[in-house]
C-alpha cells in the first residue's frame, strides 16, 4: 500500500480560465451551422436562396446604379448609355422632378406649396411625437388651423393678394399629400362619430351607422370614386357642381371614414364596462363621458391601428388616378410616355422612383406604429 | 325627488333619456329624409336637363363594342349590354377565383417561411412582405404590365419558338388540347374522384375519432383525383390532339391565348395579397401556445403529426376570419383591372357601358350591388366554414 503524503495532493487555489467554446459551436461558423445548415433541407434552401440572390442582386445593382444614366437633356442620353446595357434613366427623373412634385402648379406660385409641406411636416411632427408639449394645441392646429390655412394658401384668395390656382393645375406629390391629408383629417372625426353611432343605444342611429359602414366596406374604392365622380354632380344643383378634385376627395373621405370607424370601434370595445359605469355614476352625460373618459383611452390603444389605416389610405390615394386627378403616380404615367423621354428603360425607372417614394413613407409609418405598439405593451406590463 | 305612480323619478321631459333619445332619432331621420328629397329633386331636374331617360331598358340594347376576353359567347354586332354585364362579371369571377387559390398557396408558403429556422429564408420572406405591403397595388400592376409584360419581344421575336408555345408582348400562347368524344367520361371520372376523396376524408376522420387510428389519405386521394381520370382517358381511347399556336406575320393563330392584361393582373393581385396572407398565417401559427407543441412532442408525435394534428387545427380558427378579409380585399382589388385594360366587370360595365349609355345612376347602382353581393356571398361562405370548425360551446 502506498502512503499518500502531503506532496502528492494537489489543490488548485486559483480558478482555471474558461476555455472558449469550440469553434464549430460559436462565432460565425457556429451561427451559420445553427441558422443556415442545421439540416439537409435547410442546407439546400440556403444554397438555393444564395444562388437566387447572386442572380438578382447584381442585376438590380447594375440596372439601378452602375449602368444608370444620371444626367442628360433628353432620351438620347439614356439610349446611348455609358455601357452596353441600358440602365435606369435617372436623368429623366431629374428632368421631370418638379413636375412630379408640383404637377402643373404655376411656377411662380410654388412657394405656396412648399409652405404647405412645411406646415404639414410641423403639424405631423407635433402629433406624432408623443412626449411633445401641448399636444392638445397640436391637434387643434392639425385638425382646424392647418386645413383652413392650407386651403387659402393652395387655392388662393385674391383679397389678400394670393391669386387663385385652379385645382386642375394641381398635381404630383402635392395632390397625393393633399388627398391623404384631407382623408386623414376628415376620416378620424367622422370615423369616431360613426363608431360611436354603431355602438349607440338608439336604434335609428345604430342601424344607419352600421348600414353606411358595411355598405362602403363591401364595395371597392374605385366604385366609390366613380360614384362620387359621376353621381355627385347629379345630386346637387348645377351651380354647385363640385370640381373634380373635390369629388374625388368626397369619395376618399367617405371610404376611409368607414374603415376608420371599424378601427375606432375595436378600441371602444376594448374599454372595460366598469369605465362606462363609473363615468355614469359620476353623473357624466354621453358626450362628456366619451370626451373625458372613454375616447382618450380607446384612441390611445388604437393609435397603431389608426396609423396602419393611414398607410392603407396613403396607398389608396393612387386610385384617384381613375377619375382624372393628376396624383403622383399619374404624373409618372404621363411623363413616362412623353416622347421626349420615351426609351425602353423609362417606364421601369419611373416605377422604381415611385416605388421608393411610397415604400419610404409607408415603411416609416409602419415602424412608427410598431414602436407605439411596443410602448403601449410595455406600459401595460407595468 | 318624489317617485311618481309608475315608480320612476319625476324629471323634466327633456331630462328623460328615453324621450331625449326618441327626439334625437326623429330629428336624424327627418334630416336624412330632407337631404334625400333634395337629392332626388336635383337628380330629376339634372336628368331632365341632360335629356337622359332613366330605367334599366338600356340593358337590352345592342352593345356594339368588342371585348378582348370572353368566357361566354359574345359578338360585337348582336350582343346586348346585358350580355356584356355577364361577360364582365365572369371575367371578374375568373380572376378573383384563381387569385384567391394562388394567393392562399403563396401566402401560406411565405407565412411558414417567416417562421423557418433558416435565417436566410426567414429574412427573405420578411423582406418580401415588407416591400410588397408598402407599395401600392396599382403601382405594382402598372409595373408588371408596362415594364415587364409590354417589354417582351414583338411577335416575330417570340420566346420559346419551336417548343409549341409562344411568349411575346401580345400574351402567352399555349397548345390547345382538342378532345375526342370520350372527354365527357374523363370529366365524369374526375368529378367522381373528387367526390370519393371527400367521402374518404369523412370516413378517415370518423375512424380517427372512434379508434384513434390514422388512415393514410394523400396517396388514395392522388389515385382518385388524378389516377382515375387518367385510367378512364386510356380506356375510352386516349383521343386528344394538340393544336399548336402558329406564328403569323402580325398575329398568332390557334392555341390558347393568355392575355398579358390577365397575366399582369393575376400576378399583381397574387403577389400583393400573398404578402398580407403570409402575415395572417404567421400570426395564426404563433397564436398556438408553445406548451401545446411541447405536450405533443412529449406524447411522441412526429413533426408532421404535431403540425397536422395539433398546430393547424388550432391555428385555423385564428386564421380564418382575417383570411376572409384578405379574400374580400382581393375581390375588391380586382377592379384595378381598369388601369391595365383587363376586361373585368368595372372596366366593361362601369367603364365602357357607362360611357356609351350615360346611364350613370343605373350603372353605378348595379356595380355597387354586384360587389356587395360578391362580398356578402364570400363572407357568408367563410363564416359558415368558420362556424363549422369553431370549438363547440365557445
Alpha-carbon distance of A243 to A82, in angstroms, equals 47
What is residue B145's predicted lDDT score, i.e. its pLDDT? 92
Query: Using CB atoms, which residue from A49, A321, A366 is nearest to B121?
Result: A49
Of the pLDDT bands very low, low, confident and very high (cuts 50, 70, 90), residue A242 is: confident
User: Which residues 311-340 in chain A show a CB within 8 A of chain B?
Assistant: 311, 315-316, 318-319, 321-322, 329, 333, 336
What value does the mean pLDDT take over residues A319-346? 90
User: Which residues 171-210 in chain A show a CB within 8 A of chain B?
Assistant: 201-205, 208
What is residue B183's predicted lDDT score, i.e. its pLDDT? 75
Question: Nearest-CA distance from A360 to chain B in Å?
Answer: 8
Query: Which one, of B283, B349, B371, lies nearest residue B96 by Cα?
Result: B371
Asked if A50's CB is within 8 angstroms of B368's CB, the reply is: no
User: Which residues 31-70 in chain A show a CB within 8 A of chain B?
Assistant: 35-36, 38, 42, 45-46, 49-50
Query: Using CB atoms, which residue from B42, B338, B361 is nearest to A322?
Result: B338
Q: Is B145 exposed, middle or buried (0-12, 13-18, 19+ CB in 10 A)?
A: buried
Which of A48-52, A187-191, B168-172 is the least confident region?
A: B168-172
Is residue A325 within 8 Å of A228, Cβ to Cβ?
no
Q: State percent of chain B over pLDDT 90.
A: 38
What superfamily would CATH give domain A94-105+165-381?
A: MetI-like (1.10.3720.10)
Give the chain A residue whose CA is nearest to the CA of B345: A223
Query: Using CB atoms, which residue from B139, B146, B368 is nearest to A318?
Result: B139
Query: Using CB atoms, which residue from A202, A223, A359 is nearest to B25?
Result: A202
Q: Which three cell numbers stand for residue A54?
A: 447572386
Give the chain A residue whose CA is nearest to the CA of B47: A234
Tens digit of pLDDT for each residue in B327-376? 999 999 999 999 998 999 999 998 898 888 888 888 999 999 999 999 99
Q: Are strands B166-168 and B246-247 parallel, antiparallel or unpaired?
A: unpaired
Query: Using CB atoms, which residue from A49, A205, A354 is nearest to B28?
Result: A205
Is residue A205 within 8 Å of B28, Cβ to Cβ?
yes
Q: Which three cell numbers stand for residue A28?
A: 460565425
Question: Nearest-CA distance from A116 to chain B in Å?
Answer: 24
Give the chain A residue whose CA is nearest to the CA of B372: A218
Of the pLDDT bands very low, low, confident and very high (cuts 50, 70, 90), residue A176 is: very high
Between A and B, how many residue pairs show a Cβ–Cβ distance under 8 A? Answer: 149
- For chain A, give the mean pLDDT: 89
Q: Which residue out of B138, B348, B365 would a mutagenesis test of the A interface target, given it has the greatest number of A Cβ atoms within 10 Å?
A: B138
Report whether pLDDT(A382) > 70. no
In CATH terms, is domain B87-154+261-389 a member of 1.10.3720.10?
yes
Tens digit of pLDDT for each residue in A132-162? 888 889 999 999 999 999 999 998 888 888 8
Question: Nearest-CA distance from A52 to chain B in Å?
Answer: 11
| Degrees to nearest 5, angle at CA A254 with A251 and A255 | 85
Q: Which residue out of B142, B144, B272, B333 would a mutagenesis test of the A interface target, given it has the greatest number of A Cβ atoms within 10 Å?
A: B142
Residues of B within 8 A of A359 (CB-CB) are 131, 134-135
A108 contacts chain B (CB < 8 A):
no
Asked if A50's CB is within 8 angstroms of B117's CB, the reply is: no
Query: Using CB atoms, which residue from A223, A355, A362 is nearest to B367?
Result: A223
Question: Nearest-CA distance from A150 to chain B in Å?
Answer: 26
Question: Nearest-CA distance from A348 to chain B in Å?
Answer: 5
Looking only at Cα atoms, what is the longest distance across chain B?
A: 98
Report whether pLDDT(B393) > 80. no
Instruction: For the full predicted model, state whether its pTM sits above 0.80.
Output: yes
Could you tell me which residues come within 8 angstroms of residue B197 by beta carbon, excluding any fewer than 6 positions away? B220, B221, B224, B225
Residues of A within 8 A of B116 (CB-CB) are 42, 45
Q: Which three cell numbers stand for residue A12?
A: 488548485
Is residue B82 within 8 Å of B59, Cβ to Cβ?
yes
3-state secondary structure of A275: helix
Of the pLDDT bands very low, low, confident and very high (cuts 50, 70, 90), residue B6 is: low
Q: Which ranges constitute the DSSP H helices of chain B?
A: 17-50, 81-113, 119-133, 137-142, 183-211, 218-222, 228-235, 260-286, 290-298, 303-305, 312-333, 345, 354-357, 360-389
Residues of B within 8 A of A333 (CB-CB) are 142
Residues of A within 8 A of B123 (CB-CB) are none
Tens digit of pLDDT for each residue in B101-154? 999 999 999 999 998 888 999 999 999 999 999 999 999 999 999 988 888 887
CB atoms within 10 A of CB B379: 17
What value does the mean pLDDT take over residues A75-81? 74
Query: Using CB atoms, which residue from A35, A36, A218 is nearest to B375?
Result: A218
Amino acid at each position: 500500500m502506498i502512503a499518500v503524503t502531503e506532496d502528492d495532493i494537489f489543490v488548485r487555489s486559483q480558478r482555471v480560465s474558461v476555455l472558449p467554446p469550440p469553434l464549430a459551436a460559436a462565432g460565425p461558423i457556429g451561427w451559420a451551422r445553427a441558422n443556415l445548415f442545421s439540416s439537409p433541407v435547410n442546407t439546400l434552401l440556403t444554397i438555393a436562396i444564395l444562388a437566387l440572390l447572386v442572380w438578382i442582386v447584381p442585376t438590380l445593382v447594375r440596372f439601378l446604379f452602375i449602368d444608370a444614366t444620371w444626367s442628360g437633356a433628353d432620351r438620347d442620353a439614356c439610349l446611348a448609355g455609358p455601357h452596353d446595357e441600358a440602365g435606369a434613366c435617372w436623368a429623366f427623373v431629374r428632368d421631370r422632378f418638379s413636375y412630379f412634385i408640383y404637377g402643373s402648379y404655376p411656377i411662380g406660385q410654388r412657394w405656396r406649396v412648399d409652405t404647405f409641406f412645411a406646415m404639414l411636416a410641423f403639424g405631423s411632427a407635433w402629433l406624432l411625437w408623443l412626449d411633445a408639449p401641448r399636444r392638445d394645441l397640436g391637434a387643434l392646429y392639425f385638425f382646424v388651423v392647418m386645413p383652413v390655412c392650407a386651403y387659402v394658401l393652395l387655392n388662393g384668395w385674391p383679397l389678400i393678394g394670393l391669386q387663385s390656382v385652379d385645382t386642375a393645375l394641381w398635381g404630383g406629390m402635392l395632390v397625393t399629400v393633399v388627398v391623404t391629408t384631407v382623408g386623414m383629417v376628415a376620416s378620424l372625426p367622422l370615423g369616431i362619430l360613426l363608431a360611436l353611432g354603431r355602438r349607440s343605444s338608439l336604434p335609428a342611429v345604430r342601424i344607419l351607422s352600421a348600414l353606411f359602414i358595411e355598405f362602403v366596406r363591401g364595395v371597392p374604392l374605385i366604385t366609390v370614386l366613380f360614384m362620387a365622380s359621376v353621381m355627385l354632380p347629379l345630386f346637387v344643383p348645377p351651380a354647385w357642381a363640385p370640381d373634380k378634385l373635390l369629388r374625388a376627395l368626397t369619395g376618399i373621405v367617405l371610404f376611409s371614414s368607414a374603415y376608420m370607424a371599424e378601427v375606432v370601434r375595436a378600441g371602444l370595445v376594448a374599454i372595460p364596462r366598469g369605465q362606462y359605469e363609473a363615468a355614469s355614476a359620476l353623473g357624466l352625460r354621453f358626450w362628456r363621458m366619451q370626451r373625458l373618459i372613454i375616447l382618450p383611452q380607446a384612441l390611445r390603444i388604437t393609435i397603431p391601428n389608426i396609423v396602419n389605416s393611414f398607410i392603407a389610405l396613403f396607398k389608396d390615394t393612387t386610385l384617384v388616378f381613375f377619375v382624372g386627378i393628376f396624383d403622383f403616380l399619374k404624373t409618372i404615367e404621363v411623363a413616362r410616355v412623353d416622347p421626349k423621354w420615351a426609351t425602353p428603360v423609362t417606364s421601369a425607372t419611373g416605377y422604381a422612383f415611385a416605388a421608393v417614394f411610397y415604400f419610404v413613407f409607408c415603411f416609416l409609418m409602419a415602424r412608427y406604429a410598431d414602436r407605439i405598439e411596443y410602448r403601449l405593451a410595455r406600459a401595460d406590463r407595468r | 325627488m318624489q317617485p311618481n305612480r309608475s315608480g320612476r323619478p319625476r324629471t323634466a321631459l327633456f331630462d328623460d333619456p328615453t324621450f331625449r333619445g326618441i327626439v334625437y332619432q326623429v330629428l336624424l331621420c327627418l334630416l336624412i329624409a330632407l337631404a334625400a328629397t333634395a337629392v332626388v329633386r336635383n337628380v330629376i331636374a339634372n336628368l331632365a336637363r341632360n335629356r337622359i331617360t332613366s330605367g334599366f331598358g338600356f340593358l337590352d340594347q345592342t352593345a356594339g363594342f368588342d371585348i378582348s376576353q370572353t368566357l361566354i359567347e359574345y359578338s360585337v354586332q348582336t350582343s346586348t349590354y346585358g350580355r356584356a354585364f355577364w361577360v364582365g362579371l365572369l371575367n371578374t369571377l375568373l380572376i378573383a377565383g384563381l387569385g384567391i387559390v394562388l394567393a392562399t398557396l403563396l401566402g401560406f408558403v411565405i407565412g411558414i417561411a417567416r417562421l423557418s429556422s433558416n435565417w436566410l429564408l426567414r429574412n427573405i420572406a420578411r423582406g418580401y412582405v415588407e416591400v410588397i405591403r408598402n407599395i401600392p397595388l396599382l403601382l405594382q400592376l402598372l409595373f408588371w404590365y408596362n415594364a415587364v409584360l409590354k417589354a417582351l419581344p414583338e411577335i416575330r421575336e417570340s420566346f420559346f419558338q419551336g417548343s409549341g408555345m409562344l411568349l411575346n408582348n401580345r400574351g402567352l400562347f399555349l397548345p390547345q388540347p382538342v378532345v375526342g368524344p370520350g372527354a365527357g367520361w374523363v370529366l365524369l371520372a374526375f368529378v367522381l374522384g373528387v367526390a370519393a376523396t371527400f367521402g374518404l376524408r369523412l370516413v378517415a376522420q370518423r375512424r380517427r375519432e372512434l379508434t384513434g387510428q390514422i388512415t393514410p389519405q394523400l396517396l388514395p386521394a392522388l389515385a382518385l383525383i388524378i389516377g382515375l381520370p387518367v385510367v378512364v382517358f386510356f380506356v375510352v381511347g386516349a383521343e386528344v390532339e394538340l393544336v399548336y399556336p402558329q406564328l403569323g406575320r402580325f398575329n398568332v393563330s390557334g392555341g390558347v391565348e393568355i392575355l398579358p392584361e390577365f397575366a399582369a393582373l393575376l400576378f399583381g393581385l397574387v403577389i400583393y395579397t400573398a404578402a398580407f396572407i403570409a402575415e395572417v398565417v404567421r400570426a395564426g401559427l404563433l397564436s398556438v401556445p408553445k406548451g401545446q407543441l411541447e405536450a405533443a412532442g412529449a406524447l411522441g408525435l412526429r413533426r408532421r403529426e404535431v403540425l397536422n394534428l395539433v398546430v393547424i387545427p388550432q391555428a385555423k380558427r385564428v386564421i380564418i376570419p382575417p383570411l376572409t378579409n384578405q379574400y374580400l380585399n382581393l375581390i375588391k382589388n380586382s377592379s384595378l383591372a381598369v388601369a391595365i385594360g383587363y376586361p373585368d366587370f368595372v372596366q366593361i360595365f362601369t367603364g365602357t357601358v357607362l360611357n356609351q349609355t350615360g346611364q350613370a345612376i343605373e350603372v353605378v347602382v348595379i356595380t355597387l350591388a354586384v360587389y356587395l353581393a360578391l362580398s356578402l356571398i364570400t363572407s357568408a361562405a367563410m363564416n359558415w366554414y368558420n362556424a363549422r370548425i369553431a370549438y363547440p360551446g365557445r
